[in-house]
Chains A and B, each alone.
Chain A
Amino acid sequence: MKLSFLKSLVCAKFVLYFLSSCSEVVQDSSLDTDTWPSRPLRIIVPYGAGGIADVSLRLAADALSQQLGQAIVIENRPGAGGIAALSIMQNASADGYTYVLLSNGTTIAVSQFPDQLPPLLNTLQPVSSVAWFNFSIFVNSQTPIYSLADMRYEADTPPLRIGVINTGSTQYLAAELLRKNADLNATLIAYRSTPDVLAALLRQEVDMIIDAYSAMKGALEAGDLREIIAPDFQALSWNALYTHAEVPVEIIDQLRTSLSQALLSESLLNQYKELGLQARTTSANELNEQFSKDQKQWKEVMIEAGILEAL
């Protein structure tokens, strides 16, 4: 009796562990582009479950799996600027069944981990982008700020307080860029998470925040927040599928076509619209250009802000 109890403990633990890594168990070394996909696909996400990058991919993966007629397993491997996720990608075989999600966040992490990330990224090739959105500027609706011009006026004294998530995030660097381009007298205040940023704006600890629309939707609908439209402010966020560089181009093309079809699904487009996202596929070239453009821009911002030492 006592042993069977222990066994059940061990079993339960293994079931949990198994669930998280079941796709690793199924490894097929044969490579047949004609029958692809003949088993479930696996996408490794370098972020925790629940963020906008994760949610947008899960929605798209759902539509894509209907298109391909195969299940898609999503694995969250957060941490260390995506190194953990990319290491798994590197160890997976180049058979077109394992993919990794990269995003604008990766273009920043490349500069933060110059020794570890570039070698990992060199083994990859782009497939296509999935979701695009712009970060927005929000103010508390009780403040008389309606445009960037109002902020400049307000900003005479004391400095404007801009709330953003941790230093090194796209939001933080976008705020740095805004401060410079719009010539704002502003202090950036860093918070641990997007909900903390929202709470800070609600109690007016900060004057404005920069973050994704989806997290602010509830407060916006309640009339607690106001979105500020600023034509010269742009902080593009995107995520895209990448895979092993040696995966045959036929598979990549087929996947990109299926993804474009999947992203046309009406229910997906509705869900994306509600979250303020845009569904769009891209060619490999376009993605490469976007990546290097972002990498260059954010590196400059980081050096100017003193986050990164100029090399």
Chain B
Amino acid sequence: METLNNLFLGFELALAPEVLLVCLVGVTLGTFVGVLPGVGALTTIALCLPLTFQMSPLPGLVMLAGIFYGAQYGSSITSILLNVPGSAPAAMTCLDGHPMARQGRAGVAIITAMISSFLGGTLAILLLILFAPILAQWAVHFSSADYFSIMLLALVAAASLGIGSVVKGLIMVFLGLLLSTVGTDLATGSFRYTFGVAALSDGISLPALAMGLFGVAEIFKNMVRPQQISKKSFAVNWRSLLPTLEDFSLFWRPCLRGSAIGSFIGMLPGTGPTIAAFLSYAMEKKVSSKPQGFGTGRIEGVAAPEAANNASVQAAFIPTLTLGIPGDPIMAILIAGLLIHNISPGPQMLQEHPDLFWGVVASFWIGNVILLVLNIPFIRLWVSVLHISPKTLYPAMLLLIVLGVYSVNLTSFDVFVCVFFGLIGYFLNQQQYPTAPLLLGFVLGGPVEENFRRALQLSNGDMSIFIKEPVSASFLFIIIILLLLPILSIPMIGKKRG
């Protein structure tokens, strides 16, 4: 009952004209930076932070948060239409979203992405409303050993991503892991593989690597051999843009699973939407009765990662708002916005500033509704991007990517890194090596290594710490089952054939 009262208070505050307006501005800006390849939410939020100093705390937070989740909606659009992810978490949406567009189902893919993002966000917001303090307490108790096992599970799942053989997938995962070791070693402070280049002391930039492997590589491919996109995608009638009932029946389950995975991953500080999207895609592939169809334009492959990345972004507010523990650099900036106003997020915030907490939570849902309503009428406009001649489109995309990658750290070094990985990505694609596992290996490499070493440091080198902790042990058990399944199922397949 109290929750309901609080929620009413929240909606009352969030529907105030000023708050509603900044929410609209935030999510619209977010959608745009999402659509633009390379320009990430982090850069935009950092740039908009000073604007919030003059606002009162609620609208300021509402706007910054709106940019963050708005970008999750927007970033799927370029993934689907052009096979160029708007940001790293949307890389998974390319795998099936772009094949759908090439089959003339771009509108369906975009609507699926929007609805999935909306459902994922809604589920995470519900969790935030109902159980935020309990969940945050629970999530903060995940130890270094637990983190290691969860990340290892994601890594094992990574090898099965994308088209191509498992061996090629594994090679790519290891390549990603190797690349993740570049930079300053967290535990000893020494520089690894930096070759005296100061810019490498912070490691390879994730946006530069992701935009290179997926964006620039795709542009190179199209420059060498322009691809034909089905004329069906130019259809103008609404009918062909909307998902059919059959589509709905295919994607609601993946959407729910993606939302659940995304909410779980989002609650854990230090994870983020990229990992959530990867894990849920891998999950769909595992539970599907026809896993070989993934990567050829399956609607489940769009729904699951899109639900997961938006759910994880919303769920990340659980530890941020209730414990004052921001899970990633974006959340840290949001907290700074509050610190400037002398508000310290923490367990006391719910009591001391209930208006702020509930107002923000209510605005999340309003923002998600705005995004859904705002984007659906625009789908025809987005799809019309496919009309643009490749001669105009791809150079413009390349320019946008270069500017976007540059804007993250404002160093031209990152631009070279991006183009370098564009070439690598192009050759890998030529040789049928999947690039998604490489990206996941790179994203997970740091956390896997750090948590492994930290767990051993905490246990004084005793390996049994990984099986003594129940959470860690259960995830290791799941990994063993995943690894054994193919071996166990071989004789069964043999029997069937026989």
Given the interface pairs A49-B336, A168-B189, the reply to whether A195 lies near B326 with Cβ below 8 Å is yes
Residue pair A5, B344 in contact (C-beta under 8 Å): no
B411 touches A84 (CB 8 A): yes
Which of the residues B184, B333, B407 comes within 8 Å of A166, measured between beta carbons?
B184
Inter-chain contacts of A191 with B (CB < 8 A): 186, 454
**B114-122, B139-147, B473-481: which lies at the interface:** B139-147
Among B46-54, B224-232, B258-266, which stretch is in contact with chain A? B46-54
**A5-B381, A9-B35, A76-B46 in contact; A199/B201 too (CB < 8 A)?**
no
CA of A214 to CA of B346, assembled, Å: 12
Q: Which residues of A contact B403 (CB under 8 A)?
A: 13-14, 17
Residues of A within 8 A of B144 (CB): 200, 205
In residues 80-110 of chain B, which contact A (Cβ within 8 Å)? none
Query: What chain B residues lie within 8 Å of A219 (beta carbons)?
Result: 323-324, 346-347
CA distance A218 to B457 in the complex (A): 28
Smallest CB gap from B33: residue in A: A16
Question: Which residues of chain B are within 8 angstroms of A302 by Cβ–Cβ distance?
Answer: 189
User: CA separation between A79 and B411, bound complex, in Å?
Assistant: 10
- On whether the beta carbons of A58 and B202 are closer than 8 Å, the reply is no
**A window 179-194: CB within 8 A of B:** 187, 189-193
Q: Is A156 an interface residue (CB 8 A)?
A: no
Q: How far is the CA of A112 from the CA of B43 in the complex (A)?
A: 27
A219–B324 Cα distance when bound, in Å, is: 8
Q: Which chain B residues lie closer than 8 Å to A200 at the CB level?
A: 144
**Per-residue 0/1 for A28-72: is the Cβ within 8 Å of any B Cβ (1 yes, 0 no)?**
000000000000000000001111001100110010000000000
Tell me the bound Cα distance from A142 to B303 in angstroms: 44
Contacts known (A55-B336, A198-B325, A222-B346); A62 close to B201, Cβ less than 8 A: no
A304 contacts chain B at the CB level, 8 A cutoff: no
Contacts of B460 in A (CB 8 A): 158
For B50, the chain A residues whose CB sits under 8 A away are 58, 74
Cβ < 8 Å to A, chain B residues 26-64: 32-33, 35-36, 39, 43-44, 46-47, 49-50, 53
> How many residues from B make CB contacts under 8 Å with A?
74
- Nearest A residue (CB) for B200: A80
On whether the beta carbons of A189 and B347 are closer than 8 Å, the reply is no
Residue B126, interface by CB 8 Å: no
Residues of B within 8 A of A199 (CB): 140, 269, 319, 323, 325
Pick the residue among A51, A187, A190, A206 that contacts B332 (CB under 8 A).
A51
Q: Across the interface, do B409 and A79 meet the contact criterion of CB distance under 8 Å?
A: yes
Give complex CA distance A168, B187 in Å.
10
- Contact pattern, B 363-402, Cβ under 8 Å of A = 1, otherwise 0: 0000000000000000001001101100011001001100
Kindly list chain A residues whose C-beta atoms are within 8 Å of the C-beta of B396: 6, 9-10
B339: Cβ under 8 A from any A Cβ: yes
Q: How far is the CA of A206 from the CA of B392 in the complex (A)?
A: 56
Question: Smallest Cβ distance from B386 to chain A, in angstroms?
Answer: 9
User: Which parts of A218-254 form the interface with B (CB within 8 Å)?
Assistant: 218-219, 221-222, 224
Within the complex, the shortest CB–CB distance from B41 to chain A, in Å, comes to 12
B2 to chain A, nearest CB (A): 20
**Quick one: given A20-B410, A158-B460, are A50 and B332 in contact (CB under 8 Å)?**
yes
Q: Are A275 and B400 in contact (CB under 8 A)?
A: no
* Best-surrounded residue of A6, A167, A199 (most CB of chain B within 10 A): A199
Quick one: which of B43, B187, B269 contacts A195, CB cutoff 8 A?
B269
Are B53 and A62 interface neighbours, CB within 8 A?
yes
Contact A203 B140 (CB under 8 A): yes
CA gap between A209 and B340 in the complex, in Å: 24
CB closest residue in chain A, given B137: A202
Chain B: CB-nearest residue to A158 = B460
Let me know if B458 and A81 touch, CB within 8 A.
no
Rounded to whole angstroms, the CA-CA distance of A55 and B336 in the bound complex is 7
Known contacts A1-B384, A202-B140; A195 and B332 CB within 8 A of each other: yes
Q: Which of B36, B327, B348 contacts A218 (CB 8 A)?
A: B348
Could you jot down 7 A-B contacts, CB within 8 Å?
A16-B44, A16-B47, A202-B140, A214-B344, A221-B348, A270-B342, A307-B190
Q: Residues of B with Cβ closer than 8 Å to A?
A: 32-33, 35-36, 39, 43-44, 46-47, 49-50, 53, 140-144, 184-190, 196, 198-199, 201-202, 269-270, 319, 323-327, 329, 332-333, 335-336, 339-340, 342, 344-349, 381, 384-385, 387-388, 392-393, 396, 399-400, 403-404, 406-407, 409-411, 446, 450, 454, 457-458, 460
Excluding A6-B396, A80-B202, 18 further A-B contacts by CB distance (< 8 Å) are A13-B403, A20-B43, A49-B49, A50-B336, A51-B336, A76-B46, A77-B410, A80-B199, A80-B201, A113-B201, A116-B198, A189-B457, A190-B454, A192-B446, A195-B325, A218-B348, A219-B324, A222-B346
